[in-house]
Amino acid sequence: MYKLLSQKLQLFASLQVSATGIGLFRIFYGLVTLQEILFLLYFKHLIFDPIPYIDVEFPMIGLFLGVWALVAFALCIGYRSQAAALTCYCFWIIFVQFTPMQRDFDGGFDVFMTGIGFFLLFMPIDKAFAIDQLRQKLQYPFIHYSHYSVPKVSILAYYIPVMLCLSFLYFDSAIHKMFAQHWRNGLGSWLPGTQPYYVSAINMSALLNIEWLAKSVGYLILVFQFSFVFFAQNRYCRPIYLLVGLGLHLGIIFTLNIYPFGAGMLICYVLLVPFAWWRALADFCQAKQPTLTIFYDEKCPLCNRTALILNHVDIFKCLDFKGAQSYRQNYPELSRYNEQEMLLDLYTLDSQGRVNYGVLAYSQILIKMRYLYLLGLLLKAPVIYSLACRQYRKIADNRLRINCDENCLIPNQQSFAPSFYDQLVARFQKNPKNFSRQLAKFLIILFALQLNSSIHYGFFYRFKIDTRQNALTSTLSEISNSTILLSQMLFGITPHALYVHDHFEGYDHILAITYLDQNGVEQWLPFVNSQGRLLAPNWGRVHSMWANIAVTPNIDQARLNKFIMKVTAFWGKELGLDINRTTFIIRMKKIEAPSVWVYDQLNKNLSGEWQVIGSARWIDNNFSAALPNNINNL
């Protein structure tokens, strides 16, 4: 097996494909990270304060989240990609492992993002849609943009993350699902869709009430997850798995309130898109012929760099660049301008023969790029136009005072440290066989770590095998646990027992919180509404806190009190309430989580009656709750 894997890796490592998918993979990873950081900033007091707004344990948390957001943005645009990816990976580990996110506010996709972040370190993320690519071009401003070809990268950069981040995850998850009765009945996707705490604002009853459709989707998920590892990379099966996976995870985003999990999983599907589809998409989106010709001073370093920058951001290929000295005489429309005039400004010529220069030329460039159309129109606005003309004139006239001699032709010797990917490529080219063997060993280690997690929780835990019967098995169990903790922290390898029977079995009651306003009228806290839905923005990891930790089939009184305290303190402050003078009321509603299909189960759960089971008060910023001791038996 090791020898075969090494040979396959050596073969695949030499296959070169476009870096387009890798660039988009980096962008989507950065965007998902960025939206999660913004979520954490909004709920920072709820998540990180022991007592929201009252006992602030991490006063600098906003600053660190702000730095993380800047790093994620840099990763999106591909600026210093290697450093941004490494810093982002470290931030995921620190926040997930060493803050309350790990224990009380699990986002459901945190360790998955950590795993992706690890592989991102070794991928060619600076080869497409990246500022780093432009920075390297600007070292040599007098090399025309046409000399730069589309970067090619090893196909392993696509295969390995999909195999380790998706294939193993799906297979491990499918093992756990087989122990759940509702999954074996084909209701794995139907049951969460009938629970008020889990559904989005979209009522999917019309589809949930079609029994054959609900069961078909459930069984499709099982077949999909079990078979993904074997067939997803096959060139003929890949489009099928891509479309099915996109449909399933888009369904999670729109129908359930755990949208970050669905969005995080979709990141890897960018790598599953067939390469021919990227080429077809580029042919469809890009202009057949340039719609705007730009004339610039080809002997001016600033003008050449400007041309390189504009070409780099012209993703639809609508612009063409010509040297004013060489091409002016070939265009009759420019005959009224002498060469000296054309060297003073940037000139543009559109397909209708209209000529613009200066700020108007830049406005036309932005408009023709399509995606910057509004910015181009804004540049023509009266006040902005006059300010832009003044600034443009300063820059344009100043460059004319700079005499260009032979020193202008010397490249800017800015040092760019080779990325981890470039270092790996260099090692492969030096000794392909040895590199393939080392990579095979590393992948086998990762496989062993995943196997340890799957066996430990997928079999020993599920079959309730007591590993403490003797000293040897007890020691092996402790080693296995420690290994799982390490592999989870660094590589995102963890059990994926999502929405199985030990979560829904006995889930027959939900709780909500109301309060009495200053007129004594009962109002619903903007957290759980009168139907039992968790309202936006209390989704993602806040949903996990309430629906998976506070309110469970077997409610722990201490944990419930803790989270009622946090929710009332946070939303009380957000609503401008004086929590020390506000009475909070705890309500309960009965629901059902059957393992067999029931018609209109969602609407039945949404329409149940609430009963008052207790209250909560704040006195001098000290919390107390009056709840029955046998809350699980009500």
Task: Render pLDDT for 254-281 as a digit per residue (tens, 0 to 9).
Answer: 999 989 999 999 999 999 999 899 889 8
d(CA 264, CA 464): 32
pLDDT band at 11; cut points 50, 70, 90 = confident
Alpha helices in 456-507 (DSSP H): 471-491, 501-504
Closest CA to 72 of 110, 29, 40, 102: 29
Closest CA to 527 of 581, 564, 552, 489: 564
- Residue 562 CA: distances (Å) to CA of 98, 324, 565, 613: 19, 71, 5, 17
Predicted local distance difference test score (pLDDT) of residue 481: 78
d(CA 173, CA 499): 10
d(CA 59, CA 61): 6
Closest CA to 512 of 598, 382, 616: 616
- Residue 618 CA: distances (Å) to CA of 14, 314, 623: 66, 58, 5
Find out whether 172 and 450 touch, Cβ atoms under 8 Å: yes
Least confident piece of the model among 347-361, 416-430, 447-461: 447-461
DSSP state of 631: G
Closest CA to 529 of 547, 517, 511: 511
Which are the contacts of 500, defined by CB distance < 8 A and separation ≥ 6? 176, 177, 179, 180, 183
Question: Each residue of 546-597: pLDDT tens digit?
Answer: 998 999 888 889 999 999 999 999 999 999 999 999 999 999 999 999 989 9
Does residue 171 register a pLDDT over 50? yes
Does residue 306 register a pLDDT over 90? no
In the block, which residue shows the tokens 């066989």?
433
Predicted local distance difference test score (pLDDT) of residue 458: 65
- Token duo for residue 301: 């370093």
The percentage of the chain sitting over the pLDDT mark of 70, rounded to a whole number, equals 92
> Which whole number is the average pLDDT over 154-173?
90
Predicted local distance difference test score (pLDDT) of residue 64: 95
Global pTM reads 0.91
Helix H or strand E segment including 349: strand 347-350
pLDDT band at 339; cut points 50, 70, 90 = confident
d(CA 139, CA 563): 56
Q: Write the Ramachandran bin of 511: left for phi over 0, alpha for psi from -120 to 50, otherwise beta.
A: beta
For the chain, give the number of residues.
634
Q: Is the dihedral of CA 365, 371, 374, 379 positive or negative?
A: negative
Does residue 395 register a pLDDT over 90? no
Predicted local distance difference test score (pLDDT) of residue 62: 92
Question: Each residue of 474-505: pLDDT tens digit?
Answer: 777 777 778 878 888 888 887 777 766 667 88
What share of residues in the chain are helix, strand, coil (percent, to 5)? 60, 10, 30
Predicted local distance difference test score (pLDDT) of residue 406: 46
Find out whether 328 and 276 touch, Cβ atoms under 8 Å: no
Predicted local distance difference test score (pLDDT) of residue 299: 79
Closest CA to 155 of 4, 3, 7, 9: 9
Predicted local distance difference test score (pLDDT) of residue 241: 95
- Report the chain's mean pLDDT, rounded to a whole number: 87
d(CA 292, CA 364): 8
